[in-house]
A and B are shown apart, each in its own frame.
Chain A
Amino acid sequence: MTNLTKSLIGILAVSALSLSAMAAKAQDSITIAEWGGASQAADRAAFFEPFTKATGIAVVDDVWQGDMATIATQVSTNSYKWSLVRGESALIKRGCDDGILERLDPALVGTADQYLPGGWNECAVAYSTFSTNIAYNADKLKGGAKPESIADFFDLGKFPGKRAVRRHQTYFLELALLADGVKPADLYKVLRTPEGLDRVFKKWDSIKDQIVWWESGSQPAQLLADGEVVMSTAWGNRIVAAQKEGKNLQIVWDGAGLDYDWFMMPKGSPDKEKSTKFLEYILKPENAAKISSVAPFGPVLKKAIPLLKSDDIADLPTNPANAKNAFAFDANYYTENDAELAIRLANWLQK
């Protein structure tokens, strides 16, 4: 039995040692929560790795799905999981209004005229443009027809089979209205009326039993590649990444939803100093421009734009030559209505 005691003590000692080793290792790092998959890999290549090389501060990745509640919990309990969080305009606007985000040093973020329109906020740094689209797998389509418009997404006669849709209100609302004939410019005017929302859910009712819901950004490419669905809503860059892996996935450019990705900092974050270094790093024009060379994201910083290769600009979804009938997400609409929209969608899903 003394052997057992000895080995127990040994195991305890090893555990204690490794725990302290881990604590030491964790010191010089920041944790950035992103959306997983290809877009996270792009940020890692464009920003995280060069940043670590330049400063010695390691970047630990985590994945989240846009649940602002998790940031609010971290702030209110003063226990911080994330140093910086990637999110779209509606999220950072809401977080800033709710007071759960750190207000950044004006000297760091500069002024609105240094960014593309709408790309400035006191609580976050916009650093890349991205698109939400519908996509399909050209290898799995039966018959000759290919989806060309938003309306095809709802056309079960022409394209029978399941569709994958993100289980979230963004793009869900706009997609239905665009397919219902609303002009991109009028989208949020219609959505602000009660009838507008009814129209959205009525449109989705027509294909409701054919929908597979996705929550993680990597799922659409997977579902399309596996042939589980014929069409899916997806973040454009994920589809492009799947193309690079040799999959014949295609984007339908009609009705693209455009937005910025930002980095926000939970209020009271103990990593503020290190995170600020990271933000300073990505705000240098030569660094900011790097994102376009690894993935179809465009910089938001105006000074970075002339540094892009013309090929890279041509490939960007924001280019009107690519995105026809496109619209930009209205962060204000989502800030005002998000709580109600989330509940309405959740209830509709249960019916």
Chain B
Amino acid sequence: MKRTKQLLGAVSGVALIAMSTTPALAAGTTAGSSITNTVEVDYQVGGFDQTTETATDTFTVDRKIDLTVVETGFIGRTSVSPNQTRAVIAFDVTNLSNDTVDLALTATPAAGNDFTLSNIIIFVDADSDGEYDVGEEVTYLDEVVADGVTEVLVAADIPVTATAGQTADIVLTAQAHEAGGVGSLGTIYDAANTSDDTEANTEDGTVNPANVDTVLADGAGDTDAAEDGAFSDTDGYVVAAADVTVTKQSTIISDPINGTSNPKAIPGAVVEYCIAVANGSGAATATAVTVSDTLPVDLEIDDAFGVFVDGTVDGTGACNADGVDNANSNFTDNALGTPDEVNGTLSDIAAGVTRTLYFRATIN
């Protein structure tokens, strides 16, 4: 028994071609695609095959505006130092619409920041060096295709007055606009430029199912509402300044009468000075730490002992005798009547580390 089939297409050839090229995207069927449903029916009358008939429906897929902005790169606040310039944070901006759009970008300091960020720059890192270069700044992302993801970086300057532990955040907002052609930001997609149920298919002034309406379907970001054509996310900075404290203590080593046994601070006594430089836990590493001390005029530097640097302290904070005598060079032994000077540079001091400088002097 032979069955017959026939398709009756009630759509134009153009529409059929458009259907077959519709790509399957996560963002969905491309806006403006027409979807046609056809039905084939085979049946028999009196044992004879009959023609298949087809029922057809066509409608147009409308434009769904959806997007996200998500912090990327280092997740959480990025560690910065006071006075740091062009500190960079990163976001991924994704077009989840089923059409190409332009995405206008704004970066604003969040409410409640501990310090004021300056020179906020939005840029796309064209040369992938992770830093802002002149010419990389953008105000909008041009012609972002459906499912397109763009990494957007924001740079800002940290004030020198910022202290360890203080934070400041930036909200990056992307607002969908019509794809205005290459190099041109199109009209904003907002309530005035979209459709609701009462004005469907009227985009060109006529009511035509083939018209492509625009529906806002985005969620609410950190500072924007749902279905407003925009999305926002927050990233920020935390200051990890060096938290350096300096303590100085003295110990009498010997005197001319008692020797080293219970010595007294009498003329001729030798006194050891211990200067300890500590960096707080969680702080940034302190670099180029210079310790300078001008001795009282009645103290004479013990140039035979020298000046030791980069030693450690014991449990009571007293200097251990484990410093380095840097070629006996870290002091200036002036003539009597002019104070002697001690001047030493310590190695880098990481968080939670204490380094010392110690020397001896004689009481005149």
* A and B are partners in one complex rather than unrelated chains: no
A contact set with B: CB distance below 8 Å: none
B contact set with A: CB distance below 8 Å: none
